[in-house]
Amino acid sequence: MNSTICPKCRGRLEQVIWAGIEVDRCLNCKGIWFDSLEAEQLKGIQGSESLDIGDQEIGSQLDQFKGDIRCPRCQAKMTRIVDIDQHCIWYEICPKCQGVWLDAGEFTKFKDNFKPKGVVERFRQVFRQT
């Protein structure tokens, strides 16, 4: 990694490995950097939410960050994206290297948004109401 600095709180990033996939987590705010497709790979692995050890309140506060957020990999200006499903998640993606930054608590929500059982259950709820 070119930079080992958190794009939100400026803390130092540490490497963490889960199921052979290496991500970078901030020692201070506990946000997580996923290189391209790592979040997608990890969301399908049981127990990977244990990587997300940060306080969701701190993550929510940092989610309100108003300045430019620079990619910790290539320093490109990142783009804010919203994912609305069971949980509304604002996260940052690098348009250059396709890496993703999730604040503390967001990976757990990201993973929960894509549980097939949750999608089926939501459809059942919709059809029960009609």
Which tops the pLDDT comparison, 81 or 23?
23
Which ranges in 36-115 belong to alpha helices (H)? 38-43, 56-62, 106-113
Per domain, the residue ranges of the chain are 13-129
Q: How confident is the model at residue 61 (pLDDT cuts 50, 70, 90)?
A: confident
Q: Which amino acid is at 127?
A: F
What digits encode the pLDDT tens for the residues 71-130? Answer: 999 999 999 998 877 678 889 999 999 999 999 999 999 888 766 544 455 555 555 554
Q: For residue 18, with 0-12 CB atoms within 10 Å meaning exposed, 13-18 middle and 19 or more buried, which class applies?
A: middle
pLDDT of residue 63: 74
